[in-house]
């Protein structure tokens, strides 16, 4: 292992201390919950666009996506087709509904349609899912720090978590968005440096690397297979990826919260659709880095897929550039974690704490509660990330995190679809539909593992939720009509008896 030079350490320390201080400084004028969680709804669309991309892909893209290409092909790119399509649907269908009123979280919309119980049920699902999925992300970001310092993963996770907590606690969503924009530029610059270095260290450069990758079938992008067990096919990407994007960007508070910080609907739509195009380029860059790593290491085995790129950064990059790449990894880590902490605290404050304490309109109390909830969620994310350590060798973190999210995204998307349905169903019907949809997808994952690829989970969960919700709603309406007709008949017979 190559030791870090003073230049590497300087780059890393300047970034860590600088971004933490800057993020905390950005929150100096917070006076209430709206500023802390929604940035007073005046953030520029382009910064929100970069924040959306950094939030959803930063950590996993930086470490896991190269590992996906290393062990497979470029087929993961097929998902980006669906990611873009799903964003367009959300921008045209769901965002207008969010901007019709003063909505604080994604689940406020469901309360207006179905009732408080549905809002809290869906928000609770979001919290559990985000806790599990983003703890995996946090673990992935601790890998390079553990390799650099020799610390145990648990210590590395705690260090990243505490540093991120400082600026998230003081800075709120404004700090999260602006730091996201900065860190995205940093880690993409780092990836481009890695791309250039691979040209110099691979014998024959990228020409030979791509020639060997093509001969091994690793440059395949499109796969039109209809086998549902294959996760990366054209159909799984377009349809499954589309439903995944509709769920993650239309029903997940992690992303919706950022979109609600824009100045108006038009700006929010530009931020969301623009992020889809950026994601395509970003995934392509990191997948090709993975192909270059495969050529450089000649396909040798690694105990942890997510450690491949981290190992290359530490052992092969020159001083200075190595420090920049490590700073990029930390940037990705802190971006994802800060976004998770702030969105979880936001959902907790607005969907549970404020209504239960009669503090919906109390900006100052919401701000205080938000900071306490920020601290609690940060500690929970750190703790669950440490619990993931024994499971880390099974697959890449990106696939684990996306699978966990996909188990429930179908239920959430189905609930929002029922909310937009012309004939509304009851609160019991939508909760029953969500529970069934999530249960069916989870059963597929547990009892027939590998038979259905995870990109199909959202599609299956959405349709099961819709079908069950509509069926229960229709049954409920029939029962209601039956009771009304029975009551009407009894009244009519009583009238006849009185008349006789």
Mean pLDDT over 83-100 rounds to 91
Q: Tell me, yes or no, whether 177 lies in a domain.
A: yes
Local structure of 262: helix, strand or coil: strand
In the prediction, which pLDDT does 375 show?
95
- Whether pLDDT at 62 is above 80: no
Q: Which domain holds residue 62?
A: 6-393
Directed axis angle between helix 116-149 and helix 307-316, to 10°? 30
Q: Is residue 138 assigned to a domain? A: yes
- Residue 395 confidence (pLDDT): 52
What is the pLDDT, as a whole number, of residue 98?
A: 86
The residues facing 43 across adjacent strands are: 262
Interval 292-325: pLDDT, tens: 999 999 888 887 777 788 888 888 888 888 888 7
* Mean pLDDT of all residues belonging to the chain: 84
For residue 458, being part of any structural domain is answered with: no
Residue 390 has a pLDDT of: 62
What pLDDT does 67 receive?
Answer: 86
Residue range 111-129: mean pLDDT, rounded:
89
Assign residue 159 the CATH number of its domain: 1.20.1730.10
Query: Would you place residue 482 in the very low, low, confident or very high pLDDT band (cuts 50, 70, 90)?
Result: low
Per-residue tokens: 445: 């994952």
Structure confidence at residue 481 as a pLDDT band (50, 70, 90): low
Question: Who's near 419: CB < 8 A, 6+ residues apart?
Answer: 109, 110, 113, 114, 430
* Residue 123 within a domain: yes
Higher per-residue confidence, 468 vs 129: 468
SS (H, E, C) 422-460: CCCCCHHHHHHHHHHHHHHHHHHHHHCCCCCCHHHHHHH
Residues 55, 255 contacting (CB under 8 angstroms): yes
Closest CA to 105 of 338, 339, 345, 351: 351
Residue 432 lies in a domain: no
Alpha helices in 202-356 (DSSP H): 205-215, 234-235, 241-250, 253-259, 265-297, 307-316, 321-348, 354-356
- pLDDT score for 346: 93
Contact yes or no for 228/451 (Cβ under 8 A): yes
Q: Is the pLDDT of residue 111 over 60?
A: yes
Give the model confidence (pLDDT) of 418-467 as tens digits. 887 777 788 899 999 999 999 999 999 888 887 888 788 999 999 999 99
Identify the burial level of 388 via C-beta atoms within 10 angstroms of its C-beta, where 0-12 means exposed, 13-18 middle and 19 or more buried: buried
Examine residue 450 and state whether it is found in any structural domain, yes or no: no
CA 241 – CA 243 distance, rounded (Å):
6
Tally of domains within the chain? 1
> Is residue 150's pLDDT more than 90?
no
Contact, 56 vs 255, CB < 8 A? yes
The answer as to whether 258 is a domain residue is yes
In a domain, 457, yes or no: no
């Amino acid at each position: 292992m190559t030791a870090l030079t003073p230049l590497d350490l300087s780059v890393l320390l300047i970034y860590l201390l600088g971004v933490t201080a800057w993020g905390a400084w950005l929150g100096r004028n917070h006076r209430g919950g709206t500023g802390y969680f929604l940035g007073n709804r005046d953030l520029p669309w382009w910064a929100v666009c970069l924040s959306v991309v950094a939030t959803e892909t930063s950590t996993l893209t930086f470490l896991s996506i190269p590992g996906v290409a290393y062990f497979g092909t470029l087929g993961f790119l097929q998902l980006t087709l669906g990611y873009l399509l799903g964003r367009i649907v959300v921008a045209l269908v769901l965002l207008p509904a969010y901007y019709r009123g003063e909505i604080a979280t994604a689940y406020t919309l469901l309360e207006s349609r179905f009732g408080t119980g549905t809002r809290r049920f869906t928000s609770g699902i979001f919290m559990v899912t985000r806790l599990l999925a983003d703890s995996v992300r946090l673990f992935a970001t601790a890998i390079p720090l553990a390799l650099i310092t020799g610390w145990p993963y648990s210590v590395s996770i705690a260090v990243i978590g505490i540093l991120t907590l400082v600026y998230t606690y003081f800075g709120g969503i404004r700090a999260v968005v602006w730091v996201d924009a900065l860190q995205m530029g940093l880690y993409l610059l780092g990836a481009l440096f890695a791309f250039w270095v691979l040209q110099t260290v691979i014998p024959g450069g990228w020409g030979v690397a791509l020639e060997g990758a093509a001969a091994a079938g690793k440059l395949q992008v499109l796969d039109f297979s209809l086998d549902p067990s294959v996760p990366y096919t054209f159909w799984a990407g377009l349809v499954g990826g589309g439903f995944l994007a509709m769920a993650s960007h239309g029903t997940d508070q992690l992303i919706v919260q950022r979109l609600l910080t824009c100045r108006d609907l038009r700006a929010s739509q530009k931020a969301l659709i623009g992020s889809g195009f950026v994601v395509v380029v970003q995934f392509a860059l990191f997948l090709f880095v993975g192909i270059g790593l495969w050529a450089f290491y000649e396909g040798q085995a690694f105990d942890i897929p997510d450690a491949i790129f981290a190992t290359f950064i530490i052992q092969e990059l020159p001083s200075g550039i190595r420090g920049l790449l490590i700073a990029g990894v930390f940037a990705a880590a802190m971006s994802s974690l800060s976004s998770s902490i702030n969105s979880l605290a936001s959902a907790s404050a607005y969907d549970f704490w404020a209504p239960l304490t009669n503090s919906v309109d109390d900006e100052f109390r919401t701000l205080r509660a938000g900071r306490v909830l920020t601290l609690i969620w940060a500690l929970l994310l750190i703790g669950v990330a440490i619990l993931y350590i024994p499971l880390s060798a099974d697959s890449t973190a990106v696939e684990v995190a996306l699978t966990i999210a996909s188990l429930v995204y179908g239920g959430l998307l189905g609930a929002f679809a029922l909310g937009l349905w012309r004939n509304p169903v009851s609160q019991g019907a939508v909760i029953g539909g969500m529970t069934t949809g999530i249960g069916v997808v989870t059963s597929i994952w547990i009892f027939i593992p590998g038979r259905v690829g995870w990109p199909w989970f959202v599609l299956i969960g959405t349709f099961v939720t819709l079908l069950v919700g509509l069926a229960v709603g229709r049954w409920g309406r029939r029962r209601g009509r039956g009771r009304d007709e029975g009551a009407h008949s009894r009244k009519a017979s009583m009238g006849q008896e009185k008349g006789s």
